[in-house]
Amino acid sequence: MEAVETGRQVEHKEKIRQVISEVGKVVVGQEYMVNRLLIGLFTNGHILLEGVPGLAKTLTVSTLARVLHLDFSRIQFTPDLLPADLVGTMIYNQKEGKFEVKKGPIFANIILADEINRSPAKVQSALLEAMQEKQVTIGETTFKLDKPFLVLATQNPVENEGTYPLPEAQIDRFMMKVFVDYPSKEQELEVMRRIANMKFDFAVNPVLTKEDIFSIREEVNKVKISESLERYIIELVWATRKPLEYKLSEQAPYIQFGASPRASINLNLAAKAAAYMEGRDYVLPEDIKEVALDVMNHRIILNYEAEADNVKTADIIKAILGKVPIMK
Could you state, in order of their start, the residue ranges of all structural domains in the chain?
2-213, 223-323
- Assign 295 to helix, strand or coil: helix
Judging by beta carbons within 10 Å of its beta carbon (0-12, 13-18, 19+), is residue 9 exposed, middle or buried? middle
E strands, the chain, are 47-50, 72-76, 88-93, 98-103, 110-114, 135-138, 141-144, 150-155, 176-179, 255-257, 301-302
221 - beta bridge partners? Answer: none
Tens of each residue's pLDDT in the chain, 328 residues: 333 345 677 888 888 888 888 888 777 777 888 899 999 999 988 999 887 777 778 888 888 888 888 888 898 888 888 888 888 887 877 777 777 778 888 898 998 988 888 888 888 888 888 888 888 888 777 888 888 898 998 887 665 666 677 777 778 889 999 988 887 888 888 878 877 776 555 677 788 888 888 999 999 999 999 999 999 999 999 999 999 988 888 988 999 988 989 999 999 999 999 999 888 889 999 999 999 999 999 999 988 998 898 889 999 999 999 988 887 6
Q: In this structure, which long-range contacts are made by residues 285-289, counting pairs with CB atoms below 8 Å and at least 24 apart in sequence?
A: 285/229, 285/232, 285/326, 288/229, 288/232, 288/233, 288/236, 289/321
What architecture is the 2-213 domain classified under in CATH?
3-Layer(aba) Sandwich (3.40)
pLDDT of residue 1: 32
| 90 neighbors 102 (Cβ within 8 angstroms) | yes
Q: The domain 223-323: what is its CATH number?
A: 1.10.8.80
pLDDT of residue 6: 58
pTM for the full predicted model: 0.85
| 228 neighbors 328 (Cβ within 8 angstroms) | yes
Phi, psi values for residue 98, rounded to 5°: -150, 165
Q: How far apart are the first and last CA of the chain?
A: 34
pLDDT of residue 93: 77
Distance CA 165, CA 149 (A): 24
Distance of CA 300 to the CA centre of its chain: 17
